[in-house]
Structures are given as C-alpha cells and as structure tokens.
Structure 1
Amino acid sequence: MSGLDRPITLHQPRRLEIGAGSARTLGDWAAGARRPLVIASGPTEQYVARLNLPGDVQVIADVPPEPDLPAFEAVLERARQIEPDLVVGLGGGSVLDIAKLVAAMWDGDQTLRDVAGPNKVAGRRTPLAQVATTAGTGSEAGIRALVTDPETKSKIATESPHLLADIAILDPELTYSVPPAVTAATGIDAMAHCVEAFTNIRAHDLIDGYARMGIDLVGRYLKRAVEDGTDTEARSGMMLASYYGGICLGPVNTAAGHALSYPLGTRLSLPHGLANAIIFPHVLAFNQSSRPEKTGEIARALSLDAGDLLTSAHGFCSDLGVEMRLAAHGADRETLGDWAAEAHAIRRLMDNNPRDMSVDDVAAIYQAAY
C-alpha cells in the first residue's frame, strides 16, 4: 500500500537542538527576551535554571497530569497577567500542549472551545520554545494540543500550525530522573504513535520512513533506558523516537489504539503513556490481519513473535515493568461497556484504523485487558 499520491503537509519546528546539555542553548536563542514565561509541572521546575533564560523569568509550575479545561484556563489567565514575550514549555506532553495553547491564545480573546478542531487558532502567536523532559508524546514536534473536557470526559483537540514550536530541545539529561515505570510507559506511547501511523489507512510513504526509524529506535533503546536511567545514548535514542512519533501525528495521526486509551486516562486518571501501553498489544494484534506485512516489520524491530503476537507484545510491555491489568488500576468491569461506546465514538481516530472495529470489539479488548 502506497500513499504517495495523497497530498499531505508536514510541519516541523523551525529549529531542533538534540544532545546531552542542549537545554543550555536556549538562552542564546532567547537573547533579548524580557519576560519569558516557563510553563512546567512540579517535577520539571528544577530544570528552569539550566535553560539560561534572560530577562525577568516567570514560572508556572503546577500544570497537572492530563490537564482539564479549568486547569488550562487558570494557566491562561495567569499568563495574561504576566504578558510574556516568550513562552517555554518544560515538561512532558501535557505541559507542552498547555504551553502551545498559551503562546497562541494569551494575547487574544479566543476560548479553547473556539479553537477546537483544525485551523481555528488566530494568527498571532508569542514565540514558543518546547523543552521535552520525557520521551513519549512527541508533542514538541507537532501542531496538536489536547485538553480534557470535564463535562464529557473526552479530549478537546486543537490543531493548527500556530501551535508549532519555533525551537524544540531534546536534552537526554532532563530525562535521567524519570522513573523506570514511567520511562517504559512513555516509551511505549512513542512506539504506539509510530505503529498506529505506520498501519493507518491514511499512511504515507514519507511518514512511514519516520515511523520505521522510531520503531527501530524503541526496539534498540527502550529496555536500556528502563534498566539504566542515566544511559545517555539510550535516553537520546528514545527522545528521537518520541520526536519521530510526534512527526507521524501531524499528517497521519493515530488510530484505534489511542481512541481506546483515552477513556482510561479520563475515567481512571491514568497517565497517557500508561493507558496506551495497556492497550497497545491488543490493538496491534487486532489489526495484524489487515496489515500483515507492516505488522511483520514491527514484530521484527521489537523482537516479537508474529505467530503469537498478542502474547508476545503483552510480554514486551509487562517485561518492562508496566502493570497491564485494568483491574489493578481500579477499573470496574461493569463500566467497560460504557467506556467501549465512548472510545468507539472517537471517530477522528477510529476512522483511521485499518480494520473496522465495532463497539463489541472494543469491549472485548477492554475485557481482555481487565
């Protein structure tokens, strides 16, 4: 299957810095900034000094995991009081998504619901730097941002070139302190981005190249990064895999795997990476019959047994220390049918899946993961 005849648009940050110590280069790039605003989470605030930012640096360091609309609005209001001339995201995917939206919206009157969907963000944008501290979402590479709607427990998705970073920084030293279990889950999330784009009905040969490179890097480096958090080569490899996954999200996006993971995040408050890790083996195996050749490539890159893919992929994740049972995370078996209907309704992703998946199919996957 080739997608070469399908027009796509590929967006990437204007500048990318990658390598040990690269966070320190941000100060030179940001020379002249008078009121930089760093948006972080509690654990990532410790890295603000490494950025060498000029001016009167302001920090908002309480972005929660999986932020909802009120949390975003609180950050946006504080940013409007600060009136920054530079916005810096310093953290994992949730922090980077909030930073994108703040940079694009603080100096205007649009609400998040106004900009939900594609290409609704007004053209004004404060300069934006994205400094990743995990290797998972690849948010630093892309033009999408997700915030949870507290009323529907679904994701409000915004997509716009105005959310793209002016500079992205991948410094493996900032990921040394990420615990093994989080390293594993976020690494599987990065892999899922690549895998779901690679097997997607909207797959494109250009994006396939990035997906293949990302999957290969995960196969080579994720286990090493989990076993030794200070393995700089492995951490660098995983940050690059995550970045490649972020590139895949732009013109192709994910599919059923992410659709099934979202209710786990909103209903169980599971981190996004963990939710995707739990679902990944099941959807990979479900789609195998529709994408046998590409699934074979994935299996080889990850040293999986294509003949018993579900068991092998499940073992790949659990051997990294991921707790794969929904029951262990507080799920109630009686609610799984409702979650299945909710996931099935996320058509922006489900419609990308290479094999049609019914509500009963989704429910069966949740039951198998229970």
Structure 2
Amino acid sequence: MPALATPIGLVTPPRIEFGVGTAARAGAFAAGRTSVLVIADAFNAGRVDLLELPGRVAVFGAVKPEPDTDNLDGALAAADAARPDLVVGFGGGSAMDLAKLVAVLHGGEQGIRDVVGAGRVAGPRRVGLVQVPTTAGTGSEAGIRALVTDPATRSKLAVESVHMLADLAVVDPALTFSVPPAVTAATGVDAMAHCVEAFTNRKAHPLIDLYAAEGFRLVGRHLARAVRDGGDAEARAGLALASLYGGFCLGPVNTAAGHALAYPLGTRWQVPHGAANALIFPHVLAFNAPAVPEKTAAVVAALGGPASADPAAVFETAHGFCAGLGIEMRLSGLGVDRADLPTMARDAHAIRRLLDNNPRDLTVEDILAVYEAAF
C-alpha cells in the first residue's frame, strides 16, 4: 500500500451544492446560457422543471440502464439539434456518464473510440456541464470517468479525462425520495463498494481513505433506514453524501475486483449495475480479507458485524447485510445461465484496469469459483 508521502491528486468539481432543496440551484447556475440540453432517463425527463432551468431547454429523455454506444449516438444527435452551451446530466450514473461524453464529444472531431482510455479527450471542453444525481450510488457527479457498452463485444468502454469534470454538482437528497426500496438498496451497496474497493485497494492512500471510510460508515448507518422509509431525509442525505464520497475515491484510486466481476453481469445479462455489485460484494470482500485484514475488519464493523478478518465471518456479515435489504444474492435468481459463467470469468479477468488494483491477484479459476459460489 502507498505510504503517506506518496504523491496523489484529488480532482473534484469546483462547486458542489449539497442538501435537501438544492435542485433549483442548477437553474441559477444556468442563468445567461442560451441553450441547455438535459440528458435524462424517461422518469427524470418528466420532472426537469424541478431544476428551474432558464431559457431554451431541450431534453434527451431516452437514457437506458447500462447505456451503449447506440444510446450515446442518440444523445449526440440531440445535442446536434439543440446546439447547447450547457449540458445537464439528470438521473443516475447512466445519465451522468452520457452527459459527460456529450459535453466533450459534441461539436468536436473525436468519436467515442478516439477517447477510450485515460487522458485522450482533446480539450478544452466547449460547453458547460452540470450534474444532478437522482440516485445515491454511482458518485458520477464528482468523477472524471464515463462508461458505455460496446454492443458488438458486450464489454465496457471506459473514458477518463479531467475535461469531463462537472462545473457544478447539485446533490439534492430530496430527488432520491421516490427511488423504490429495491433500487435504493442496490445503489446504496454500489456506493459502499466504491468506498470499500478504494479503501482496500493496492493504490489506497490516506488522502482517499478519509472519504472512503466515512462513506462506507454512512452506508452502514443509513441504508437500511432509507430502504424502510424512502422519505427519511436524514437517511437519504447520508446515502447521498456516501455516494459523493465514493465519487471522490474513483478518480485517484478507482475500484478493483468487485466491479470487474460485476461488469459482465450488466454487459451480458443486463443486470443493473447496483444489483450486480451488491451480489458480488460479499464474495470479493471475503476473498480479499487475508491481504487487508485490518481494513476489512473496519468494513465489517461498519456493517454491524464483529471486527473480524476471518473470511467466513466477513462473508457472513456482508452477505447478511445485503440480503437483509432484500437484494437478490443468487446469480440464478437474476436469470444468469450457469453455462455462461466461464465466459463471464474470462471477460472479468480481462478487465486489468480494475483487477490490477485488487489487493489479491485473481486467476480466471478464482473468478469462476466466485461466480459458482454466487450462483
């Protein structure tokens, strides 16, 4: 693990508005803009008025879960028609990721395949970017990464660039009050996974540990409350803050094996990202425990279990936490075909940008064993 003196950089939006009732501050920020394009899913497209955006506002309301390059092409076509000087991502991570990509690709000479990887986006960005999350999970409002699926290969295309950093992030927990319990549970565990995977990462750093540890503690304290009562403002705010902190973790440290093993569930079987991460989370936490025992014990304690790094005890606590929220914890229950597990294992093993961060090495056989145990 890197020492305290190891150089690291933390990039966050220059302005963050946080708290119940802050949604309209997106509109105040947009004052003076001539054309605004909102990138949203169908539900949030119907409540754009909450942002109080001024002037000419166009809405691309067709963002789908696990968006692919075709979905991105549709959003870029909407940008060509609207010719915005401000793009607003309004929704979960899918909407915010597409908003990032539209903001840097619209009007330029680069396409999505020109920018895959780190630092390949040509800058500076021509339009403003505001991110307004409506779930508490991805932390995408605070980050510099975006993901879309390549439908031909069923793999994720990952883009990383400081040019995708929002000018403003508006985190209004009230926008999450209507999120159903099942989605609240899954996205909440996703936020926790961001923090835990950064905390136990080979690139973990005390600067990021501060946010990561508080993030998973917030989830342990507030997620069950928000699942029970979606209108619990304090619980919703706790999850929104945890998600934001998770976003802070992703830039300098990023996730590890948990997300690598979750991605094939989304790309091959269209399992929502949060649900996939929640199902995989206990298995990878237990697998990694021998490599990071003290940090694992801190995670387990935050989930209400004994501060142990014994893999069996770790798994029991983490699995019980997730299952207690009503999350489906069997791959078979999500419709995954057992015959596809070896292909999924090979796909996950190829995601080196994440697996190389993991505190323990995983072979294809190790990954297949996790999938078999989770089936």
> Shorter-chain-normalised TM-score: which range?
over 0.9
Comparing 27-36 and 88-97, the one that deviates more: 27-36
Give the corresponding residue for 2:281.
280
Give the corresponding residue for 2:159.
158
Give the corresponding residue for 1:339.
344
Contact persistence 2:300–2:317 (CA under 8 A): no
Give the corresponding residue for 2:10.
10
The unaligned stretches of length 5 or more in structure 1 are none
Asked if residue 86 in structure 1 is aligned to residue 91 in structure 2, the reply is no
1:260-290 Cα offsets, whole Å, 9 max, x none, are 0000011110110000000000000000000
Contact persistence 1:13–1:168 (CA under 8 A): yes
Residue identity matched to 1:343: A
Comparing 45-54 and 90-99, the one that deviates more: 45-54
Q: How does 1:144-223 map to 2 (within 5 A)?
A: 144-223=145-224
Moved over 3 A (4+): none
Q: Distance in 2 between matches of 1:170 and 1:43?
A: 18
SS at match of 1:361: helix
Give the corresponding residue for 1:47.
47
Q: How does 1:1-370 map to 2 (within 5 A)?
A: 1-125=1-125, 126-305=127-306, 306=308, 307=310, 308-370=313-375
Residue identity matched to 2:338: R
Taking only aligned residues, the RMSD between alpha carbons, in angstroms, comes to: 0.9
Contact persistence 1:40–1:89 (CA under 8 A): yes
SS at match of 2:353: helix
Contact persistence 1:282–1:310 (CA under 8 A): yes
Residue identity matched to 2:316: T
Q: Distance in 2 between matches of 1:360 and 1:322?
A: 26
Residue identity matched to 1:354: P
Contact persistence 2:303–2:317 (CA under 8 A): no
SS at match of 2:16: strand
Shift of 1:24: 1.1
Q: Distance in 1 between matches of 2:155 and 2:239?
A: 29
Q: How high is the TM-score relative to the length of structure 1? A: 0.98
Q: Distance in 2 between matches of 1:311 and 1:299?
A: 10
Residue identity matched to 2:77: E
Comparing 246-255 and 299-308, the one that deviates more: 299-308
1:106-165 Cα offsets, whole Å, 9 max, x none, are 020200000000111111321000000000000000000000011111110000000000
Residue identity matched to 1:338: T
Shift of 1:6: 2.4
SS at match of 1:62: strand
Contact persistence 2:145–2:161 (CA under 8 A): yes
How high is the sequence identity, in percent, across the aligned residues?
A: 60
Q: Distance in 1 between matches of 2:35 and 2:252?
A: 34
SS at match of 2:187: helix
Q: How many residues align?
A: 370
Residue identity matched to 1:45: A
Q: Distance in 2 between matches of 1:131 and 1:55?
A: 18
Comparing 287-296 and 78-87, the one that deviates more: 78-87
Shift of 1:2: 4.5
Shift of 1:5: 3.0
SS at match of 1:22: coil
Contact persistence 1:197–1:253 (CA under 8 A): yes
Contact persistence 2:185–2:227 (CA under 8 A): yes
